[in-house]
Structure 1
Amino acid sequence: MLKPPAVALCESRNFAIAPSRWGHHHLKTRPGVRDAPPEVSAPSPEGSERRFRLLDEQIRVLERERQKLSAVVHHTDAGFLVLDASLAVAWANSVFARRFSRGAHPVALVGAACNKVLCGEDKICEQCPAARPFVTGSVAHHEMRLETPGEIRDLYVTAVPIKSLAGETDQCIVMVQDVSDLQVLRRSQESLKASEERFRSIFENAATGMATVNTEGEFMQVNAAFCKFLGYTPEELVGKRVDQITHPDDRATTGQVLQQGRSGSLRVVEIEKRYLRKDGSVAWGHTSATWIQDARGRPLYSVALVQDVGERKTAEEALRRSEARKGAILDTALDAVISIDHRGTITEFNPAAEQMFGFRRDAAVGRNMAELLVPPRLLEGHQRGLERYLELGTGAVLGRRIQIQALRRDGTEFPVELAIARIPLDGPPTFTGFVRDLTDIKQAESALRQREEQLQHAQKMEAIGTLAGGVAHDFNNLLTGILGYAELLKMGSKPGEKVHQAAEVIERAASRAASLTQQLLGFARRGKHQNVPVDLNATIQEVMGLLVRTFDKNISLRQEFTPHSAAILGDPGQVGQIILNLAVNAADSMVEGGELAFRTEVVELTEDQRRRQDGTRSGPFVLLSVSDTGSGIPPEVLPRIFEPFFTTKECGKGTGMGLAMVYGIVQNHGGFIEIDTTVGRGTVFRLYFPLQRSEDRPEGAWSAEGDVMPGNGTILVVDDEEAVRCVATAFLEEMGYRVLTARDGAEAVEIYRSSLKSIDLVIIDMVMPKLGGRECFRALKEINPRLRAILSTGYDFNTVAQEILDEGMRGFIQKPYQLRQLSEVVAAALAA
C-alpha cells in the first residue's frame, strides 16, 4: 500500500508520525536518531482529514523546494557544510568533500571539527566565520587562503545561522567558494583599471603628441601636446581625418600606411612626414603608431606618438647644406684634398686629387696612401713619421707647409706643396692633407731664374758693351787723327822717303787698332753694319772653303743646308766673321780631331723661346747650328764665354774677343744664341736670325768705292776732338774747300748764325758736350730750314743715327774715315 507523500517524506528524513490527542499527527524523533524532529501524533477525528490534506500539500511544497535546494547544493561549485553549535560537521555535500577535503566521502566528514575539515588545523581559528553566527546570530562573510601541498587557493566563506523554533541559533550552514579565478580576474580588472588610468594620465600629460586613430583614419582622442604641435583645439581635431592635416606630398605614403594597418599586415609603423598646422605652416613630425587588435587579430584603432622634429630637420637640412657646401668646395677646389685614417688608408679623394695623381676616387679610397702616392725612396720616412705621431702625438709636418715629391699613377714624380692637419674627431686619429701641384710654379720659377740670369747677363753684357763702345768711340776719334795725319804725311812725301815709310808704319798700326775697335763696336752692337740680304748657305760655303785649306786633316767638315731660302738681313762680312770665329773655337776644342758640322734650317720659335726673348719679332727664323765633338765647355766657364777679353786659352793664343764679337753681331742682327754643351762630348751653338723674305736691297746701303772728289765752298766742322777737327780741316782743304771749326754745338750755332750765307755744309759729331749732335742740328735748322748737314760719329750707324738722319741730314760718315770716303759723302751731300 502506497504511503501518502508526507509520510514518505517524513520517513525518508527519519521522522515518525505519531497519533495526537487532538486527532492529528505529531512529528517526533525516532529513538536513536540525533536531532530528529518530534514524531507527529494522530489528529483528532473531526479535523484529521482536512489537516492531513493541508499538511500533505505543505509537504509536497517542501519537497519541491528541497529538490531545488538539493539540485543547487549538489550541483554548484560551492561546498556546503551544516555545523552544530560545537562547530562539528552535521552534514556535507559532495562538492565540499571533493574540492576542499581532498576527496573524502561526505559521510566520513560528519562529526569532524570544522577547523580540521576546512583548514586542517587542530584548534578553532581565531576569526572562524562559522562561529560568528552562533555569537551574533547574523550572516558572516570571510575571505581566506587555503594552502595545500602544491596548491594555494583563495576561498570566500559565508556562514548562515539556522535558528530553532525557540529562535536560537543551534546550527549554521557554511558555504565555501573557491574564488582564486575571481581574484585573478579582479586583480586583472584592477590592473587594467590602473593601467587605463596610467595611460590616461600619460596620454593627457605627455610632452609628446599622442592620438588615437580609428580604422577610417579619424582622430578619436588627442592630447594637449598634439594640439599644441598643430595649433588646434581637441574639439577641432577629434573626428578630423589624418590626411586633412598631412602635407599633400606625404598623403600617398600616409594612406598606404593606414591601409596596411587596416588590413592587419602592419602592426607597428614609424614614419617621418610633414603636417599642416592650423595656420598653414608646415611641421615635421616623427610618427610612431601601434595598431590595437581584438582577440581575433582584427585592428580596432591605432595609438600614435608624434614627436616634433622640426628643429632636428632644420639642423639636418643645415647639416646637409653644410655637407653639400663642403662637398662642393672639395669638388671645386683646385688643390687636392686627401684624408687618411690612422693606418694611412685613404678615406677621401677629391676631383682635384683625381686629376693631379691620375687615380679615380673609387680606385684610391681604401688604398694605402703611401703605397699609392709616395715615391718608393720616401716610403720609409713617411712611415716613420706616421708611427712617431701615433706613439708620441706630435709630428714634424703637422700644421705647416712643406715641399716634397709625389708620385703620379704613371710613375712620374712631381713637386707638391703639402699641408697636413689632424681632424679633431673622437677615436683614432685621422688626417687631411692639402696638396698643391708645384709643377707649373717650379717651371715658372725656373723660367724666372733663367730670365733673371739672362737679364743679369744682358745687363752685364750691356754694361760691358757700353764700356767697350765708349772706348771704341774714343779710340776711333783718336785713330781718325792718327790715320788722317798718316795719310797726309804719305800724300806730302814720296814713296821710299823715310817720312813716307814712317807714315805707312803708323797707318798699318792704326789700321790694326781700328780693327780692334771694330770688334769692340761689333760686341757693343755699334760696329759697321751693312743692311743687305745675306745668304747663310753661301756664306758658310765660302768660310768652309777657307777652313778646308787651314784646318788639320783630322778634323772633318760637314754641312747640311735647308732646301728653303736661308737669307737674312745684315752685314755679309760680320756674318762670315761669326761663322769663322765659331769654327776656330770648335777646332781649338778638338785637339785630337773630330767633326765640325754646319746646319741651317727654317724654324718657328717655341712659346718658351718667345717668352725668353723679349723684343724678338715673331715669324720664321733661320737657325744656324755649329756643332763640334770637342772637349765641351765646363759649367763654371759657360756663363762668361761671351765676356770681352775672357779666354781660357794660353797666353798669346787668344784675345778673348772672338765669342764676344759673335754675341754682339748676332744681337745686332736681331737674333739670339742658345748653347748645348757636354764636357767630353762637344758643343752646339745655335744661332737664330730673322728670315729675310724680300730680296730687295734695303734703303741706305751705300758703297765706299771711288776716287777723291774735289769741290769748293765753305764747310763748318763741329767736333769736340781737336785731332778730328784738324784732320777733317786738312782733308777738306785738300779737296778745295774752305773750312770753319767749332769745339761743340753751342759754338757751332753762334758761328753759323754769324756766317749763315757763306756756309754750304756742316759736319756734326753726334756726341759732344754742352749741345749734342741732334740738338745742334735742330738749332741750326731753326736758323736755316734748308740746312745741309752730315752726321759723323765714332759709333755705328745705329737707331739714334738713323733718327737724326730722318730729321733731314744729308749723309753719314763713321770715324775713323779716309780722305776718299769723306770726299764722297761731302760731294753727295752738296749735290742733294
Structure 2
Amino acid sequence: MAGDNLEQAIAGAHRRLENLSRRASQTQRQDFAVELLQEAITEISISLEELHVSAEELQQQNEELAATRQLVEAERQRYQDLFNFAPDAYLVTDVTGIIQEANYAAVQLLNVRQGALIGKPFSVFVYQAERHKFRLMMLRLRQQKQIRGQELWMFHNNGDIDFPAEVTATLTGGDSKGKPDSLRWLLRDISDRYRTEQKIREQAALLDITTDAILVRNLDNQVLFWNKGAENVYGWRTEEILGKNASILLPQTSPKTSPQLAAIIKIVSELGSWQGELYKVTKDGKKLVIASRWTLMRDPAGLPKSILTVDTDITEKKQLETRLFRTQRLESLGTLASGIAHDLNNILTPMVTIAQLLPLKHLQMDENSQQMLKLLETNAKRGSDLIQQILSFTHSSEGKRTIVSVSQIIEDIEQMIKRTFPQFIDIYTDISPDVGIVLGDSTQLHQVLMNLVVNARDAMPNGGSLRISATKLSLNQNHHKIRIGAKTGSYIVITVSDTGVGICPEIIDRIFDPFFTTKEVGKGTGLGLSTVIGIINNHGGFVDVSSEIEVGSQFQVYLPSSEESIDSVVDEIELPIGQGELILVVDDEAAITQITKTTLEIHNYRVLTAENGIEALALYTLHKNEIQLVLMDMMMPSMAGGTAIRTLQIMNREVQIIAMSGLASAEALTQFTGGIQGFLPKPFTVHELLNSVQQVLTSGSKSFH
C-alpha cells in the first residue's frame, strides 16, 4: 500500500544519508568530500522522487477511502430506512429480551414512543396468559438459533386492545467465545387474518349446520367439497364421495337425466348460474326431488374453476303439493257436480214421492200398475244413489252416522266376494280382535270396500291373492305430518292389497281423480276411487296407496276409531197422520210443491204453497197465527231460502222450519240459518217427509242442530 511504500522510502533515504555521513567523517580529502556531496544530493533527489510517488499513491487511497465511506453511509442509511419504514414491526433486543432498537411500525403497533420503548423488556407487551409461551420461545431461540411463524397474543401499552401477532426471530452476532450478541424480532399483526380465519371457521360450521346439501365439483364433475347437510340428504360420507364423479347422485333409470345434466352445465358455463328441480338418488337408492342451485366459481384470473351446488330436498313438499292439487281438483269438480245434483234431485223428488203416493191413493190398483210404479221408484232411487256417489267426494253430502262394526263390514264383504269372485283369486282376511268400531255411514263404508276389492279383482285377470286386513293404529305428529288434514289420535286401518298388475308411477297421482279410469270403455265409470276418497274424507280419515308394477297394489284406509254409542234411527212402519195443521211449502219447483202438498193433504194436513222466498213471506204475514210449520227449499230465485228463513225468524222467533235441499248438509245449513227444526235431503220419500213433519210438530220449539 502507499503508506508502506512511503515508510520504506524514508527509511532508505535515512540509511543512505547515514552511510554518506559516515564516509565523510572517515576521510580528509577535499576532492572526495565534493564527490560525497554530489552523491548525497543524488540520493536526496531519489528519495524525494520516491516520496512524491508515495504521496500521490496516498492521496489516491484517501480519495478511494472517502468514496467507500460515502457508500457505507448510504448503505447504512438505506438499511436504517428499511428498518424504520418496514410495514412490519422490527425489534432488536439483547439476549435477555431488553429492547435495544425498534422501528416505526413497532412503535405504532405497541403504542409507545420510540424513546420510551428502548430499554423496556419485550415481555411486558406479551399478553399475561401467553408469557409462559414467550419464555419457551426464548429458550428455543437459544437452542435452535431461530423461530418462525409462531402466534403470540399481545396488547398495546394501555392494555385494553389485545391482538394476535405472528412472530419470527433469530439469534445473531457473538464475541470471540461464541456468546450471542442480540435477538432480532419480526412482529406482524394478524388480526385481520385471524378474523378472516374465524369467519371462515364460522361459515364452515354454518355449512355443516345447514340442512341443505352443499357441494363443490370441478369442471370434470368430481366432488371437491361435501358438507354435513349433503351427508344427511344423500347418505354418502365425505370420505366416500370426495374425488368421485357427482353423477353418482343421478338415478340411472331416468332417461331425462343425462341430457338435462348436459344442458345445465352448458347454461352454467354460459350464464354463470342455473336453478331448477332434479331427480336424484341416495346411497340407499331412495329417489328424491331436489331444488338445485348451481353457481360457476372462477379463479383470480377470471377463468372457470369449479361449480358450487346447493341442493334442497323438497320430496316431502312435492308430496304435499300433489295431495293439495288432488284436493283442489276434487273441490273444483265437486262444485260443478253440486250444481248438477241440485237440479237432478229436484227432478227425482216428485218421481219418488208420486211412485209411493199413488198406491196409497188408489188401493185397487192392479198388480201390473203397482209393479210399474215400484220400478219407477226403484230407478228414481238408483238415480238418487248415483248423485250421492258423485257428491261423496265433496263435502256436500253426508250419510246418517251410526256405530259401525268394521269387522262386521269386512265379514260381509268377504262372504259376498267369495260367492261372486273367480275361483282363481285367493281371498284372505286378517282382522285384529280389538279392531273396534267407527262412527259413520255403514252403506258408504260398505261401498268403499266394495270399490277397492272390485278394483283388486280387475287387477288380477290371471289370478292372484286378495288380502283384507284391519288393525288399530295410534298416529302421532311424525305419522300425520305429510298427510293434509290428518289429526293425531287412534285410527282403524283397513288394508286391501292384491298381487295384480300394479299401477304405473306416471298415473298413480291421478287415480283418485273423478272420471279417470284405466279400464276399457264400458267397464269403468272412473268414479270408484274418487268416491272412496270422498267418503273417507267425510268420515275424517284419509287413504294411502302404494304400488309396484307386476308386484301388486296396496290401499290403506284410515278411519278415526270411536268408542261412542249412538242408537240407529229406524223409520216408522206406519205413516203418521196430521191433525189439520197448516203447513207452508216453499219451493221454486212446481212439481215438488204440488206433490208435497198432495202428500200432506192426503195425510190430514192443510197446505199453502209459495214459489219463492218473497211470496212465502207475504203468505206468512197473512196467516202468521195459523201456520204451524214451514218447509223451505234452500236454493231459489228472487230470495234464497237462507234469507227467507232469517226473515221469518225475525217475524216470529218461535217459527218452526224444516229446510229442504238436494245439495247442502244439515250441519252446513245451521251455519247460514242459525237454528232450524228439521232437514229433508232431496229426493225424499213419503215416509221421510211425514216422519220429519210429525217429529217437528210434536217436539215444539226445540231447534235442530
Q: TM-score, normalised by structure 1?
A: 0.63
Return 5+ residue gaps in structure 2 as ranges: 48-58, 85-90, 700-705
In 2, are the aligned partners of 1:212 and 1:221 still within 8 Å (CA)? yes
In 1, are the aligned partners of 2:234 and 2:283 still within 8 Å (CA)? yes
1:437 pairs with 2:311? yes
Give 1:572 shift.
Answer: 1.5
1:243 pairs with 2:100? no
1:317 pairs with 2:191? yes
Q: Counterpart of 1:207 in 2: which secondary structure?
A: helix
1:455 pairs with 2:305? no
1:601 pairs with 2:477? no
Whole-angstrom distance in 1 between the partners of 2:549 and 2:250: 32
- Give the aligned partner of residue 416 of structure 2: 546
Give 1:724 shift.
Answer: 1.0
Give 1:425 shift.
Answer: 6.5
1:570 pairs with 2:440? yes
1:622 pairs with 2:489? no
Alignment of 1:268-307 (within 5 A): 290-291=172-173, 293=175, 296-297=176-177, 302=181
In 1, are the aligned partners of 2:659 and 2:678 still within 8 Å (CA)? yes
- Could you say which structure has the larger radius of gyration? 1
Post-superposition CA distance 1:554-573 (Å, at most 9, x none) = 33322110221331111112
Give 1:370 shift.
Answer: 3.1
- Give the aligned partner of residue 492 of structure 1: 361
Whole-angstrom distance in 2 between the partners of 1:224 and 1:635: 76
Instruction: Give the counterpart letter for 2:350 in structure 1.
Output: G
Instruction: Give the counterpart letter for 1:436 in structure 2.
Output: V
- Give the aligned partner of residue 556 of structure 1: 426
Whole-angstrom distance in 2 between the partners of 1:281 and 1:642: 70
Q: In 2 relative to 1, CA 612–802 (structure 1 residues): closer, same or farther, beyond 3 Å?
A: farther
In 2, are the aligned partners of 1:337 and 1:349 still within 8 Å (CA)? yes
Q: In 2 relative to 1, CA 452–196 (structure 1 residues): closer, same or farther, beyond 3 Å?
A: same
User: Larger relative CO (CA 8 A, sep 6+): 1 or 2?
Assistant: 2
Post-superposition CA distance 1:505-553 (Å, at most 9, x none) = 1442243122222232233134561111101111121232233333333
Whole-angstrom distance in 1 between the partners of 2:108 and 2:494: 93
Q: In 2 relative to 1, CA 746–609 (structure 1 residues): closer, same or farther, beyond 3 Å?
A: farther
In 2, are the aligned partners of 1:676 and 1:685 still within 8 Å (CA)? yes
In 2, are the aligned partners of 1:716 and 1:740 still within 8 Å (CA)? yes
Give 1:352 shift.
Answer: 5.8
Q: In 2 relative to 1, CA 541–213 (structure 1 residues): closer, same or farther, beyond 3 Å?
A: closer
Give 1:609 shift.
Answer: 6.5
1:684 pairs with 2:554? yes
Whole-angstrom distance in 2 between the partners of 1:607 and 1:278: 59
In 1, are the aligned partners of 2:94 and 2:181 still within 8 Å (CA)? yes
- Give the aligned partner of residue 114 of structure 1: none
Alignment of 1:43-442 (within 5 A): 158-160=15-17, 161-162=20-21, 163=24, 165=28, 166=30, 168=34, 170=36, 203=76, 206-208=80-82, 231=113, 241=119, 243=121, 247=125, 290-291=172-173, 293=175, 296-297=176-177, 302=181, 313-314=188-189, 316-333=190-207, 334=210, 369-370=243-244, 396=269, 399-401=272-274, 417-424=293-300, 431-438=305-312, 440-441=313-314
Q: In 2 relative to 1, CA 825–280 (structure 1 residues): closer, same or farther, beyond 3 Å?
A: closer
- Give the aligned partner of residue 23 of structure 1: none
Q: In 2 relative to 1, CA 723–824 (structure 1 residues): closer, same or farther, beyond 3 Å?
A: same
- Give the aligned partner of residue 629 of structure 2: 761
Question: Which residue among 551, 560, 570 is the counterpart of 1:703?
Answer: 570
Give 1:787 shift.
Answer: 1.2
Post-superposition CA distance 1:575-633 (Å, at most 9, x none) = 22332333334334444443332211122447686345433333122111222334445
Whole-angstrom distance in 2 between the partners of 1:584 and 1:653: 12
Give 1:223 shift.
Answer: 11
Whole-angstrom distance in 2 between the partners of 1:809 and 1:514: 27
- Give the aligned partner of residue 102 of structure 1: none
Q: In 2 relative to 1, CA 297–586 (structure 1 residues): closer, same or farther, beyond 3 Å?
A: closer
Give 1:420 shift.
Answer: 4.0
- Structure that is richer in helix per residue: 2
In 1, are the aligned partners of 2:424 and 2:463 still within 8 Å (CA)? yes
Alignment of 1:27-38 (within 5 A): none
Q: In 2 relative to 1, CA 430–558 (structure 1 residues): closer, same or farther, beyond 3 Å?
A: same
- Give the aligned partner of residue 690 of structure 2: 823
Whole-angstrom distance in 2 between the partners of 1:605 and 1:767: 41
- Give the aligned partner of residue 799 of structure 1: 667
Give 1:407 shift.
Answer: 8.9
In 1, are the aligned partners of 2:402 and 2:441 still within 8 Å (CA)? yes
Q: Counterpart of 1:579 in 2: which secondary structure?
A: helix
Post-superposition CA distance 1:216-269 (Å, at most 9, x none) = 998999999999997456xx99xx7453896366999999999999x9x89999
Instruction: Give the counterpart letter for 1:370 in structure 2.
Output: K
Post-superposition CA distance 1:131-163 (Å, at most 9, x none) = xxxxxxxxx988579xxxxxxxx9887420323
Whole-angstrom distance in 1 between the partners of 2:502 and 2:95: 101
In 2, are the aligned partners of 1:243 and 1:251 still within 8 Å (CA)? no
- Give the aligned partner of residue 658 of structure 2: 790
Instruction: Give the counterpart letter for 2:298 in structure 1.
Output: R
In 2, are the aligned partners of 1:675 and 1:685 still within 8 Å (CA)? yes
Give 1:778 shift.
Answer: 1.7
How many pairs align? 641
Give 1:708 shift.
Answer: 1.7
Alignment of 1:683-762 (within 5 A): 683-697=553-567, 702-711=569-578, 712-762=580-630
Post-superposition CA distance 1:660-713 (Å, at most 9, x none) = 44343323322222333445444333222111132344xxx6332221222222
Give 1:748 shift.
Answer: 0.9
Q: In 2 relative to 1, CA 552–357 (structure 1 residues): closer, same or farther, beyond 3 Å?
A: closer
Give 1:751 shift.
Answer: 0.8
Post-superposition CA distance 1:337-366 (Å, at most 9, x none) = 7678999998877666676777887x58xx
- Give the aligned partner of residue 47 of structure 1: none
Whole-angstrom distance in 1 between the partners of 2:329 and 2:589: 33
Whole-angstrom distance in 2 between the partners of 1:248 and 1:217: 12
In 1, are the aligned partners of 2:472 and 2:490 still within 8 Å (CA)? yes
Post-superposition CA distance 1:707-766 (Å, at most 9, x none) = 122222211111111111111111111111211111111111111111111112111122
Q: In 2 relative to 1, CA 478–616 (structure 1 residues): closer, same or farther, beyond 3 Å?
A: same
Question: Which residue among 472, 479, 493 is the counterpart of 2:348?
Answer: 479
- Give the aligned partner of residue 516 of structure 1: 383
Greater Cα offset, 734-743 or 682-691:
682-691
- Give the aligned partner of residue 452 of structure 2: 582
Q: Counterpart of 2:81 in 1: which secondary structure?
A: coil
Whole-angstrom distance in 2 between the partners of 1:212 and 1:550: 106
In 1, are the aligned partners of 2:125 and 2:157 still within 8 Å (CA)? no
Q: In 2 relative to 1, CA 369–726 (structure 1 residues): closer, same or farther, beyond 3 Å?
A: same
Q: In 2 relative to 1, CA 742–321 (structure 1 residues): closer, same or farther, beyond 3 Å?
A: same
Q: Counterpart of 1:370 in 2: which secondary structure?
A: coil
Whole-angstrom distance in 2 between the partners of 1:267 and 1:489: 124
Post-superposition CA distance 1:280-305 (Å, at most 9, x none) = 99999987674352xx5365x94787
Return 5+ residue gaps in structure 1 as ranges: 1-139, 146-153, 178-185
Instruction: Give the counterpart letter for 2:36 in structure 1.
Output: D
Q: In 2 relative to 1, CA 702–809 (structure 1 residues): closer, same or farther, beyond 3 Å?
A: farther
Question: Which residue among 377, 398, 404 is the counterpart of 1:534?
Answer: 404
Instruction: Give the counterpart letter for 1:715 in structure 2.
Output: I
In 2, are the aligned partners of 1:397 and 1:420 still within 8 Å (CA)? no
Q: TM-score, normalised by structure 2?
A: 0.72
Whole-angstrom distance in 2 between the partners of 1:636 and 1:340: 32
